[in-house]
Chain A
């Protein structure tokens, strides 16, 4: 046989290699110049019928899960988890799966545009040169204190670049915000850690190694912090150890998706979570014969039980569970933190953990590893800071506002008056890829690439035990005439010249990223290291990031967590309605999924509603109010009114109504626009002690409108509810 390998054989080998090793790229910096183009103009690495796989980072939320995107002939076909990335270990959530529908979304902003007027969809297309000139002018013709940047939670490399840029021109540092961060109450968690442990950082809850989890409202299987990693933890909790199945109790006013997986659901009255935690703490201390620590000494079990609408027996039963567990873990989160006493709740939960001595132990509470390239965890702005920012805009001091990666017009409570404040800003430049509400209220939209067309990195805030920098690279050539915002800013900086040009003297985005990565190339405990930056970058692309192989979680000292005193009052509520209002992030849709048709059509895990917003009302309450399924009700709080269809939900407290956040867009493309209602419209700007939005602190009234609008449900109502309902 001829020993020479023919081209055909080579392709065969290459194909098999590509398929089995999954990742085939990162061939040096040259790949920067590789264009990935459709079939007619076959570029390198592209063979007919063979797929090419690129490692990148999911940008659907800021958790930083690694993705492997399958591409073929210049088209991205399928996003799957990157098995190497410690955050998600090859797994993804539903949003990650549908990220391609964002990439190929028919409503993307295809070109840089200048609006006729704010709010108008009529816009004139621009070319990128003039767009860069607009940015350069905005940066150079305004005084530094007249310039503001509002950024999303992802991507981090752009945030770093903008931080450098603002530093160079002397403007205020960019402010970061995201709806998920808002509903996660990150500031509260960080504040609680520093309150109780005397150490800054985002708490890390080691669910996987615990054997009993008490979750106080934490929706950790849905959108909270790093859902894929936490779901893996949950999986380990249940089946990780063949000898025992971890037990899980959820405390919340309605059964959420997370609550649905709990062994016990304790429907505590909203606002009394802290009381319950403290009461349990006291009972645990009593059960374990520990001298009652100061933290729990004020707790009155009977009063707490009465206030929380939970029986004393239940509390005792829960306390005995917690006391006898080998590795008990309590997690604060969700609506429990979004109340006026949210910080107290978080503190109390951490104290409860301290009581059973699981701080810094397996199955206990840690502080999340600090990501590479950063000194500490920098949380996004809480509502207090956003409110200050809005006030700043209102004052008219800001002349130009740059917005990237966030949609505050939709996400912030309307009562904050952001739209009004934005009208005081002379020039608003959005870098949004999608025609969202904020982009609609801006003068210019200079669309950034979609996350899958972009370079970048994301500093992983939490979820895994190691310090992770998730890397992003384009998997296809930009599908539309978009431009990386980093490149726009860098080009503008060069146009402006001066110190700015010399500080940001990078040829392009990748050069900037490389400059940042260069500090990592010889870190000793890295997953890989390299002698020089180009090789390092290649590996960075190939593996989809860089991370340490060691356990980088910080084990804080319990300090005097148990010596804190708590006041034992329940939370305060705004408004004089009859019902507690519980907004929650739609588990599937989250804050930005509404423009993806497959996410819209993916049933909500608890209600199975698709394509719309629903209001959850207890059957008894509904009967009282004469409301049936699909009746449209108007919900009024002190901040506003929204209308939505009712889902008579059997697993919610009768004094509470709940509504998912994620729909109710006024813009954002054909799949999102005009669909459902936005519960943020009902929220006031009241905050908890840590400055986070007290989103669950409203009391609302519910009124039947007489209209009916059928909710689209996956479940057959006939078979699940009513006299024919099955179990």
Chain B
């Protein structure tokens, strides 16, 4: 007791932060929280519907029609060529897989590490995961020359007498993404069940039927909680390596190719770092928008959460820079002819601005903003940082996919890639992501109330000396 008091010798009470800043120490009755969440779900303004209409229109045209056009015409309407066989579709794929690391991985890591401030925003992040994987899958399908035969990648007994080839990194990818999609959806769903039960208990008519179906008869008995807890623990531990493997395998899609730039053994961890960077950076964006546009969310989502994410971002950004430097210095030093040209092309070629943009967004921005707690706790600033980092990471993928594949060992074929229909389809995938999110925000409780309450039950404030010190009990 006295040890802690000594640790805070010079702080006057007014200098100390208000423990009430922490959600965990600012409890509300569960019924009140339920009401707040339900209210946030049920409140829709004309602005909401306008945005949804626009997004729906974009999804129908930019995604639906443009994709139909792409399928009917063939990939000629895209910008791919020789040697850039993989273009923006693969950029989108890698990008969305990266975004998908936001939720599952952040929430899993935070859960495993028992970071308490995770509680209110895990779902916000996990939803991103689910929708991002949907987009990643769509991007792969858009990329395929004969998407109507995509089911040939599924290993099942068939009349054709031929199975997919597991020698191919794409098959690993297929298996990994399938695993990841299924597991992260379940991981989203598991903690959602009690909340769905809560909504079920508070709704009527067909809406009740809907929630009843998805709450699958959950009541909250001891056995149910125990099973749920164990399953969630299994998921939290198991999904971390799966998420790592997914992005590593995505990296291997490139690294296994005998191309300068791609063929790098550090690409796996480098991609994971990149995925974490873009994924975690997406969290403050969503937190900011959810917090500022939805009712009652300012109670649940607080500057402290931005702070948590900001700290992670700073570390991840440094990690990313570390891996990038690894990936950069080794070929640079080795001086392989093609790697050298590739480096020159990226840094001084016709699209060199992308490279500088990437470094600015991924290193300069986070390093200059995130070291300061005050700035980390400023939601709008964090949203801007998140957006910039995402721009930077998208740029990074653009450099890795079309730019790096421009340079190969046959200089006679070096053609610059210019995206065409991909741009529209990219808009379409972003619109789909947002639309799904908009829909989810009014269908699913975005705050896992039971987890918040569970946390709040476990947190207490104790007066030590002159100050109230937040502490945590072991009731979990």
Q: Which residues does A use to contact B, with CB under 8 Å?
A: 714-720, 723-726
Chain B's nearest CB lies how many Å from the CB of A712? Answer: 11
Report yes or no: A716 in contact with B348, Cβ–Cβ below 8 A: no
Residue in B closest to A726 when the chains form the complex, CB atoms: B411
> Is B344 positioned at the interface, with any CB of A under 8 Å from its CB?
yes
What 9 additional pairs, Cβ within 8 angstroms, besides A716-B414, A724-B411? Answer: A715-B412, A717-B414, A719-B410, A719-B412, A719-B414, A720-B412, A723-B348, A724-B345, A726-B341
Q: What is the bound-complex CA distance between A716 and B413, given in angstroms?
A: 5
B residues 324-349 touching A (CB-CB < 8 Å) = 341, 344-345, 348-349
The bracket for how many chain B residues form the interface is 10 to 19
- CB proximity of A723 to chain B, nearest CB, Å: 7
State the CA gap A189–B349 with chains docked (Å).
51
B349 and A724 form a contact (CB under 8 A): yes
Please give the distance in Å from B83's CB to the nearest CB on chain A: 8
Residue B406 lies at the interface, judged by CB distance under 8 Å to chain A: yes
CB-based contact A716/B411 at 8 Å = yes
Whole-angstrom distance between the alpha carbons of A725 and B412 in the complex?
9
Contact across chains for B415 and A716 when beta carbons are under 8 A apart: yes
In the assembled complex, 26 residue pairs joining A and B whose CB atoms fall closer than 8 Å, in A order, are A715-B412, A716-B83, A716-B412, A716-B413, A716-B414, A717-B414, A718-B345, A718-B349, A718-B406, A718-B411, A718-B414, A718-B415, A718-B416, A719-B410, A719-B411, A719-B412, A719-B413, A719-B414, A720-B412, A723-B344, A723-B348, A724-B341, A724-B344, A724-B345, A724-B407, A726-B411
Minimum distance in angstroms from B379 CB to a CB of chain A? 44
A726 to B408, CA, bound (A): 12
Contacts of B407 in A (CB 8 A): 724
Please report the C-alpha to C-alpha distance between residue A324 and residue B393 in the assembled complex, in whole angstroms. 67
* Interface contact B411-A720, CB-CB below 8 Å: yes
Interface string of B382-415 (1 = CB under 8 A from A): 0000000000000000000000001100111111
Contact B411 A725 (CB under 8 A): yes
Residues of B within 8 A of A (CB): 83, 341, 344-345, 348-349, 406-407, 410-416
A714 surroundings in chain B (CB, below 8 A): 412
Give Cα A726–Cα B406 distance, bound, in whole angstroms. Answer: 14
Please report the number of residue pairs spanning A and B whose Cβ atoms sit closer than 8 angstroms.
36
A715–B415 CA distance with the chains assembled, in angstroms: 8
Taken together as a complex, chains A and B put the C-alpha atoms of A719 and B409 apart, in Å, by 10
Least CB distance from A535 to B in Å reads 54
Residue of A nearest to B411 (CB): A719
Residue numbers in B under 8 Å from A723 (CB-CB): 344, 348
B411 partner residues in chain A, CB cutoff 8 A: 716, 718-720, 724-726
List the A side residues contacting B414 at CB < 8 Å.
Answer: 716-720, 724
Residues of A within 8 A of B344 (CB): 723-724
CA distance A300 to B410 in the complex (A): 48
**CA A715 to CA B344, docked complex, whole Å:** 20
Once the chains are docked, how many angstroms separate the CA of A253 from the CA of B341?
33
B164 to chain A, nearest CB (A): 33
A725 to B83 alpha-carbon distance, docked (Å): 16
Chain B neighbourhood of A719, CB < 8 A: 410-414
- The 5 A-B pairs with the shortest beta carbon distances in the complex, nearest first, are A719-B411, A719-B414, A716-B414, A726-B411, A718-B414
* Chain B residues within an 8 Å CB radius of A718: 345, 349, 406, 411, 414-416
Residue in chain A with minimal CB distance to B337: A726
Q: Which residues of B contact A724 (CB under 8 A)?
A: 341, 344-345, 349, 407, 411, 414
Assembled-state Cα–Cα distance A716/B341 (Å)? 15
Question: How far apart are the CA atoms of A548 and B475 in the complex, in Å?
Answer: 108
The chain B residue with its CB closest to the CB of A716 is: B414
A724 to B83, CA, bound (A): 15
Complex contacts, A716 vs chain B, CB 8 Å: 83, 411-415
The residue on A at minimum CB distance from B413 is A716
| Chain B residues within an 8 Å CB radius of A726 | 341, 411
B406 cross-chain contacts in A, Cβ below 8 A: 718
| Docked complex Cα distance between A724 and B416 (Å) | 12
Residues of chain B within 8 A of A715, CB atoms compared = 412
Provide the residues of chain B in CB contact with A717, threshold 8 Å: 414
List A contacts of B415 (CB < 8 A).
716, 718
Residue of A nearest to B415 (CB): A716
Residues from chain A with a CB closer than 8 A to the CB of B345 are 718, 724
Measured CB to CB, the nearest residue on chain A to B345 is A724
B349 (CB) vs chain A CBs: closest residue: A724
Chain A nearest CB: distance from B346 CB in Å? 11
CB of B336 to closest CB in A, whole Å? 14
Tell me, rounded to whole Å, the shortest Cβ–Cβ distance linking A629 to chain B: 13
In the assembled complex, the Cα of A344 lies from the Cα of B383 at a distance in Å of 81
A723 to B83, CA, bound (A): 19
**B342, chain A: closest CB distance, angstroms:** 9
In the complex, what distance in Å separates the CA atom of A716 from the CA atom of B410? 10
Q: Which residues of A contact B412 (CB under 8 A)?
A: 714-716, 719-720
Residue of B nearest to A725 (CB): B411
Give the shortest distance, in Å, between A348 (CB) and chain B (any CB): 40
Most central of A720, A723, A724 by chain B CB within 10 Å: A724
Chain A residue nearest in CB terms to B82: A716
Report A-chain residues with C-beta under 8 Å of the C-beta of B348.
Answer: 723
* A722 CB to nearest B CB, Å: 10
Using Cβ atoms and an 8 Å threshold, which residues of chain B touch A725? Answer: 411
> What's the Cα separation between A718 and B406 when bound, in Å?
9
Residues of A within 8 A of B83 (CB): 716
The answer for the CA separation of A723 and B345 in the assembled complex, in Å, is 9
- Complex: chain B residue closest to A713, CB-CB: B415
With a cutoff of 8 Å between Cβ atoms, the chain A residues found around residue B413 in the complex are 716, 719
Distance in angstroms between the alpha carbons of A296 and B421 in the assembled complex: 68
CB of B446, distance to nearest CB on chain A (Å): 48
Q: Nearest Cβ distance between residue A276 and chain B, in whole angstroms? A: 34
A723 and B349 CA atoms in complex are apart in Å by 9
How many angstroms between the C-alpha atoms of A724 and B407 in the bound complex? 10
Instruction: Specify the chain A residue showing the minimal Cβ separation from B338.
Output: A726
User: A151–B345 Cα gap in the complex (Å)?
Assistant: 56
Measured between beta carbons, the chain A residues less than 8 angstroms from B416 are 718
| Chain B, residue nearest A718 (CB) | B414
A724 to B349, alpha carbons, bound, how many Å? Answer: 8
C-alpha gap A450/B344 in the complex (Å) = 54
A408 to chain B, nearest CB (A): 39
A727: nearest chain-B partner, CB-CB: B411
- In whole angstroms, how far apart are the Cα atoms of A718 and B403 in the complex? 12
CA distance A207 to B293 in the complex (A): 84
A346 to chain B, nearest CB (A): 38
| Complex Cα–Cα for A717 and B341 (A) | 15
* Most chain A CB inside 10 Å of its own CB: which residue of B349, B412, B416: B412
Residue of A nearest to B416 (CB): A718
Closest chain B CB from A443 CB (angstroms)? 43
